[in-house]
A and B are shown apart, each in its own frame.
Chain A
Amino acid sequence: MRRRLLNWVLGVGSVVAFVGALVMVFLYAPREATMGEIQRIFYFHVASAWVGFFGFFITFVSGALFLARSERRWDILGLSSAEVGLAFITMVLITGSLWARPVWGTFWTWEPRLTISAVQWLLYVAYVMLRTSTTSQERVARFAAVYGIVAFVTVPLSWFAIRWWRTIHPQILAGGEMALTPRMLQTLLVSLAAFTLVYATLVRQRVHLEEARDRLAGLQAG
């Protein structure tokens, strides 16, 4: 009963927050002077990147906890979070390219941030493929936990890429100052909150799916 109520609250909260963020992006945030309307991609693009990074962070933490305690629940959480995180990072790559075409004049360029993002995407695609392996579940879980910890290095690398190397990727925080007007910042914060809720809803559903699979496997085996 409590589980159903929490699912319902999360689901409805996600939809309301998502629609609210959409309204703010198109009706509340001002039109950017240089780039014009296309700049509005920024709000959900950054929110997707945040959720992707957060998802990979949860996979990293779950991997460490699984190695320490060998509890199946940490393995399930790591897998669920990586899958959802990968979906959001895929959106980041595609929508970033859609923004770059009119602004940079090209869909893609091999500059540091974009290159690291592409490598990160490939690493997590490999993680998800690894999970479909038919070898023993315990071995796959242990390997995936180590893999999730190692692959997480791409997250700080991606974050610092625009600070350490010469790059054409825009920075929101430059020299400690926010390059956004108050309305832009409010829209970004609402988008971040909405996407975090959507992430929580999706990961929770994905965890329930994996638990159901375990129950079915148990019944089939016994």
Chain B
Amino acid sequence: MPIYLVLAYVIFCGVPLGLWVSIAWRRRVIGKQLEQHAMPGEALVLDTNVERIRG
């Protein structure tokens, strides 16, 4: 099998896979940052609101 054909199909498989991994990695990083930012603050606001409604 010609080396250029093998190289071409390595690129055809590698580029979409690489792009998918890159996007998934960036989503993971942002997901972790979202968890750090969102959870404590949101819980606090929610608790306060509940208390105010009951009170």
- Cα distance A216–B30 when bound, in Å? 7
User: Other CB < 8 Å A-B pairs besides A95-B11, A209-B26, A219-B41, 12 of them?
Assistant: A38-B4, A41-B8, A44-B9, A45-B8, A48-B12, A98-B5, A98-B11, A205-B20, A205-B23, A206-B23, A209-B27, A215-B34
Say if the beta carbon of A90 comes within 8 Å of chain B.
yes
Using a CB–CB cutoff of 8 Å, the interface residues on chain B facing chain A are 1-2, 4-5, 7-9, 11-13, 15-16, 19-20, 23-24, 26-27, 30-31, 33-34, 37-38, 41
- Cα distance A198–B13 when bound, in Å? 11
> How many inter-chain contacts with C-beta < 8 Å in the A-B complex?
76
Main secondary structure of the interface of B (DSSP, over half): helix
Cβ B4 vs Cβ A99 within 8 A = yes
Cβ A41 vs Cβ B31 within 8 A = no
Which of the residues A41, A90, A101 comes within 8 Å of B15, measured between beta carbons? A90
Cβ B19 vs Cβ A87 within 8 A = yes
Cβ B5 vs Cβ A216 within 8 A = no
- Residues from chain B with Cβ under 8 Å of A209 in the complex: 23, 26-27, 30
Give 8 A-B contacts (CB < 8 Å), ordered by A residue. A38-B4, A44-B8, A91-B11, A91-B12, A99-B8, A101-B4, A205-B23, A215-B34
Cβ A219 vs Cβ B38 within 8 A = yes
In the assembled complex, the CB of A205 is this many whole angstroms from the nearest CB of chain B, namely 5
- Cα distance A197–B34 when bound, in Å? 29
- Residues from chain B with Cβ under 8 Å of A206 in the complex: 23
- Residues from chain A with Cβ under 8 Å of B20 in the complex: 201-202, 205
Say if the beta carbon of A208 comes within 8 Å of chain B.
yes
**Which of B1, B30, B37 is packed against the most chain A CB atoms within 10 Å?**
B30
Cβ A212 vs Cβ B19 within 8 A = no
- Residues from chain B with Cβ under 8 Å of A181 in the complex: none
